Amino acid sequence: MHISRSTHSIESKKRREGVRAVLALLIACTLLASFSCVRAPRPKISTREEAFKKVSIEDLRLEADPLSIKSFLTALKGSISYYEKVPPTRIYHFGRYMVTADKLLRSYKSLRDYAEAHPSFRLISRFIKTHFDALKCNGYRGDGRLLFTGYYEPRVPGSLKKTGRFVYPLYSLPDDLIYVDLKSFGFQSPKKRLTGRIDGRMVRPYFTRYEIDFEKKLAGKGYELVWLDDIVDCFFIHVQGSAEIVLPDGNTISVNYAGSNGHPYKSIGALLIDEGKIPREKMSMEAIYTYLHAHPSEIKRVLSCNSSYVFFRKVKNGPIGSIGIILTPRRSVAADPKFFPPGALAFVRVCSSPDRNGCGRNNAIEFKHMVFIQDRGGAIKGPGRIDYYWGKGKKAGNIAGSFKPWGEFFVFVPRDESFSRL
């Protein structure tokens, strides 16, 4: 049957308008879901130019770094390897300052060479203060205070095959998961892309946690990467983004973040506090773990509250941060790359007190040392949050799960002058 060009054009226009309508609906749903799930305060600081202010680097006691020079060099070399792989002209934003990858690479190589030749934080501190400027992060509200949280790499038993004991899978990234680039469709949205799946001729949001774990939407499709014996362990591995799995023969495999279903993250800890199940002052990952195992009938409801779902890939060693390097315990942190330059050298000054103004209190324990921004996280958004990597295993997990202090965060931007040796 012959169809005129004008009729074909009309039909094509209708299809295009239909796709735009679907995408507009998806955007609306996404934004509504985000507002309903996230309770972060409305930020006063909204741009990366506002997020930092220059301060005197001389006032920072870099020489008092209590951690090892070995760990500092390990993390530094990780950032160097990252900058070696990106285009040399790529621009990194340090507040109002713009620095190329090539300049950062040369700066960090000079710092590495000096630190290896002078393994003393007193001397390394002199070098940094001579060749870098300090920018203090203003936080959400512009008061210079940030919330620090902790994460770690779980170490749990598992199997490469489903058995009577190991019945809960970690999935690899499904083939039917797609990304929709909103900018290419002409949408001006804070969210640059949507994650979804094709259903006939429609684009729909990808399956939720409830649909994947409890309605088994992916079961038997070949995406099972490894099997665990505890669905709560699976959940926490999703939150942490990596894990070391101990197989029945004693060998281990590492799995790392490969992608997510695109749904907004919702804290089950906040849910349990609101419901009065766990007191706010006692909230931690261990407290959640204990509560869920003491109330197994609650597991489906509580876990499903967080629709966000993470998919994994096997790696030789882990955990691997978002810049593609293995994280260093207590030297690597995760931050929002919209505000914080990936790979950058930084300095933390953190108090153990949960009180926002607790640094001066007698019972507060303060620690301060240099770190590198080497990771990002689905829930780590804005200029007022830093996630601190504590390491592997149960001990690190116990610390990370209750680590929620307020503190200060500084990034170091290379100065214009050449890097001469001191």
- Is pLDDT at 177 greater than 90 in this prediction? yes
Predicted local distance difference test score (pLDDT) of residue 385: 94
The amino acid sitting at 243 is A
- Is pLDDT at 256 greater than 50 in this prediction? yes
- Is pLDDT at 28 greater than 70 in this prediction? no
378's tokens: 């689905």
In 3D space, the residue among 357, 243, 371 whose CA is nearest the CA of residue 311 turns out to be: 243
Predicted local distance difference test score (pLDDT) of residue 377: 82
List, as one string, the DSSP characters of 349-376.
EEES-SSTTGGGSTT--EEEEEEEEEE-
- Is pLDDT at 26 greater than 60 in this prediction? no
Predicted local distance difference test score (pLDDT) of residue 9: 44
The string of pLDDT tens digits covering residues 144-170 is 999 999 999 999 999 999 999 999 999
List, as one string, the DSSP characters of 98-149.
EEEHHHHHHHHHHHHHHHHHS--HHHHHHHHHHHEEEEEE-BTTSSSBEEEE
Higher pLDDT, 32 or 205: 205
Predicted local distance difference test score (pLDDT) of residue 43: 55
Model pTM score: 0.79
Average pLDDT over residues 294-317: 96
158's tokens: 């598992």
Residue pair 372/343 in contact by the 8 Å Cβ criterion: yes
Predicted local distance difference test score (pLDDT) of residue 190: 64
DSSP one-letter code for 183: G
Which of the four pLDDT bands, split at 50, 70 and 90, describes residue 358?
Answer: very low
Higher pLDDT, 302 or 399: 302
Predicted local distance difference test score (pLDDT) of residue 317: 87
Average pLDDT over residues 190-195: 79
184's tokens: 């290419």
Average pLDDT over residues 261-286: 93
- Is pLDDT at 353 greater than 50 in this prediction? no
Predicted local distance difference test score (pLDDT) of residue 364: 52
* Least confident segment among 251-255, 263-267, 273-277, 378-382: 378-382
Predicted local distance difference test score (pLDDT) of residue 2: 37
Q: Give, in order, the Cα–Cα distances in Å from 309 to each of 61, 223, 241.
A: 41, 14, 10
Average pLDDT over residues 205-231: 97
List, as one string, the DSSP characters of 255-306.
EEEEEE--PPP--HHHHHHHTTSS-GGG-SHHHHHHHHHH-GGGHHHHHHT-
Predicted local distance difference test score (pLDDT) of residue 13: 45
Domains of the chain: 52-151+321-414 (2.40.40.10), 155-174+207-315 (2.40.240.50)
For the chain, give the mean pLDDT. 86
Surface-to-core class of residue 95, CB atoms within 10 Å of its CB (0-12 exposed, 13-18 middle, 19+ buried): buried
The string of pLDDT tens digits covering residues 105-119 is 999 999 999 999 999
- Is pLDDT at 182 greater than 90 in this prediction? no
Share of the chain above pLDDT 70, in %: 84
